[in-house]
């Protein structure tokens, strides 16, 4: 399959690219500095802005599916106090809005989007401490993620939302998934979540579902 990964240079995006390439897929990696990614067979890096419709219109045709792993990779406390240097707070919703339109025009239906546990369907399953941390540290990003999910749910695409708990850079591939918000551990490795993305791309039967992923 030919897969477009949006947000490919972040920790999650890199993990998804690796997981897809390891399974023999061709990957187009879109990010503002995608050309910094290590060279791999089957990987085509494209430098570009995913919030710009013309960028997506140029890249999307010919792809079988899209995986979106957009986010702000800077330290959360610094972003909360000073704002992000290079990424707008609304990058998720802006890019997703343009993706929905561009995918419809290009005839690409399958979209898998990484969100965050505690948003949308799982909002009421957060504990008091997590709610407080969300409000204090990443309130603008959570608002944007909520909007991103709303846009996706209102689209006619074959979408699936992936909601991991707290992400780590561990090497573990162990993970637990559910569609009712049930979780096991409070942390999960990015490489494990990437395997879930790859599974959903290859077996797209979970349409219009939210998949929670924990360790």
The confidence score (pLDDT) of residue 87 equals 61
Q: Which two tokens mark 98?
A: 């343009």
- Concatenated DSSP letters for 1-57? -EEEEESTTSHHHHHHHHHHHHTT-EEEEEETTGGGSPP-TTEEEEE--TT-HHHHH
Q: Select from 136, 137, 138 the least CA-distant residue to 146.
A: 138
Q: Please state, in angstroms and rounded to a whole number, the distance separating the CA atoms of residues 92 and 209.
A: 19
Burial class (CB in 10 A: 0-12, 13-18, 19+), 123: middle
Give residue 191's domain range: 2-214
What stretch of H or E contains 137?
A: helix 128-137
Q: Please state, in angstroms and rounded to a whole number, the distance separating the CA atoms of residues 149 and 113.
A: 9
Q: What is the CA radius of gyration of the chain?
A: 16
The confidence score (pLDDT) of residue 123 equals 81
The confidence score (pLDDT) of residue 18 equals 98
Strand 176-178 versus strand 209-214 pairing type: antiparallel
- Domain tally, the chain: 1
Q: Please state, in angstroms and rounded to a whole number, the distance separating the CA atoms of residues 86 and 142.
A: 18
Number of Cβ within 10 Å of residue 49's Cβ equals 15
CATH number for the domain spanning 195: value is 3.40.50.720
Q: Select from 45, 41, 2, 7 the least CA-distant residue to 25.
A: 2
For each successive 10 residues of the chain (215 residues), what is the average pLDDT?
97 97 98 96 97 97 97 49 60 96 98 93 76 60 90 97 95 94 95 98 93 96
C-alpha of 162 from chain center: 7
The confidence score (pLDDT) of residue 137 equals 54
Q: Please state, in angstroms and rounded to a whole number, the distance separating the CA atoms of residues 36 and 46.
A: 10
Q: Which two tokens mark 106?
A: 């290009």
For residue 24, CA distances in Å to 20, 106, 121 come to 7, 24, 33
């Amino acid at each position: 399959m030919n897969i477009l990964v949006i947000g490919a240079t972040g920790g999650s995006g890199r993990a998804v690219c690796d997981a897809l390439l390891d399974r023999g897929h061709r990957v187009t990696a879109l990010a503002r500095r995608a050309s910094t990614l290590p060279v791999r067979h089957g990987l085509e890096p494209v430098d570009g802005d995913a919030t710009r419709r013309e960028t997506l219109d140029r890249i999307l045709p010919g792809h079988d599916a899209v995986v979106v792993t957009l986010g702000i990779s800077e330290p959360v406390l610094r972003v909360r106090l000073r704002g992000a240097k290079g990424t707008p707070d609304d990058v998720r919703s802006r890019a997703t809005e343009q993706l929905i339109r561009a995918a419809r025009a290009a005839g690409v239906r399958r979209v898998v989007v990484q969100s965050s546990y505690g948003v949308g369907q799982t909002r009421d399953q957060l504990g008091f401490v997590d709610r407080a941390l969300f409000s204090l540290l990443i309130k603008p990003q959570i608002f944007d993620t909520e909007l991103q999910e709303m846009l996706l749910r209102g689209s006619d695409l074959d979408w699936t939302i992936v909601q991991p708990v707290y992400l780590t850079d561990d090497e573990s591939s162990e993970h637990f998934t559910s569609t009712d918000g049930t979780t096991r551990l409070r942390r999960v490795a990015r490489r494990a979540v990437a395997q879930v993305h790859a599974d959903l791309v290859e077996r797209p039967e979970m349409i219009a579902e939210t998949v929670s992923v924990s360790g």
